[in-house]
């Protein structure tokens, strides 16, 4: 049977009939949630304040869990000694990085590479890392052996001058640790 409106016109419903908030048997509990009483149970039979309190308590207990707890649980489930999961916002876009390894250097290196790549995709990663360390005023101490490795990578020895080193490094600057075959 087709719905009937207040004037018994078949199929016609008055828009006011669709707005339940104006009806005497409708009681708002909170925004968007209502109790509709029937002939058998009037509003006097209901404790609206108790219903509101129950809804508030229910919504607080059903609140979303702390996302950090889920991250901790995920990292604890890894079968490696070291791991991290980070999110970063770069130029308005969010990127997530996860790394796990028994080698702490691998995890740290992947983190630095991920960050530097996202900060400036147009500049070589090593250059971005150097700029970031200088800009952040981060002091890095390398073992003395590193100097010997840099000299050797450029065909130099401790007997060569600083000018020889500067000329050998050229426009690329100092790369530590040196790549195999630098010259």
3-state SS, 1-70, equals: CCCECCCCCECCCCHHHHCHHHCCCEEEEECCEEEECCCCCCHHHCCHHHHHHHHHHHHHHCCCCCHHHH
Helix (H) or strand (E) holding 106: helix 104-119
Mean pLDDT of the chain: 81
Peptide bond into 47 cis (omega under 30): no
Is residue 99 in a domain? yes
pLDDT in tens, 26-79: 767 667 666 666 665 555 555 667 766 777 776 666 666 788 888 888 899 999
Question: What does the alpha-carbon distance between residue 51 and residue 100 come to, in Å, rounded to a whole number?
Answer: 48
Residue 156 has pLDDT above 80, yes or no: yes
Whether residue 183 is predicted with pLDDT greater than 50 in this model: the reply is no
Full residue range of the structural domain in which residue 162 is found = 141-183
Q: Alpha carbon 56 to chain centroid distance?
A: 29
User: What is the number of domains present in the chain?
Assistant: 3
In a domain, 175, yes or no: yes
Regarding predicted confidence, which is higher, 37 or 95?
Answer: 95
**Do 111 and 147 share a domain, yes or no?**
no
* Residue listed under structure tokens 């969010």: 94
Would residue 76 count as lying in a domain?
no
Sequence length of the chain is 183
Return the percentage of the chain with pLDDT > 70, whole number: 72
Q: Are residues 146 and 120 part of one domain? A: no
Answer whether residue 17 is part of any domain: no
């Amino acid at each position: 049977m087709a719905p009937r409106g207040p004037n018994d016109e078949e199929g016609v419903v008055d828009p006011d009939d669709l707005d339940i908030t104006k009806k005497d048997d409708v009681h708002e509990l909170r925004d968007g949630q209502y109790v509709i009483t029937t002939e058998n149970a009037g509003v006097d039979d209901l404790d609206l304040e108790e219903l509101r309190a129950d809804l508030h308590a229910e919504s607080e207990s059903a609140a979303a869990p702390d996302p950090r707890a889920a991250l901790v649980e995920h990292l604890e489930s890894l079968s490696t000694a070291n791991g991290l999961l980070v999110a970063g916002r770069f130029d308005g876009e969010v990127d997530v990085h996860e790394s796990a390894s028994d080698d702490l250097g691998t995890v740290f290196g992947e983190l630095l590479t991920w960050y530097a790549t996202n900060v400036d995709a147009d500049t070589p990663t090593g250059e971005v890392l150097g700029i970031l360390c200088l800009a952040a005023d981060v002091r890095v101490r390398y073992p003395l052996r590193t100097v010997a490795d840099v000299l050797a990578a450029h065909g130099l020895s401790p007997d060569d001058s600083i000018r020889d080193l500067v000329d050998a490094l050229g426009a690329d600057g100092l790369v530590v640790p040196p790549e195999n075959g630098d010259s």
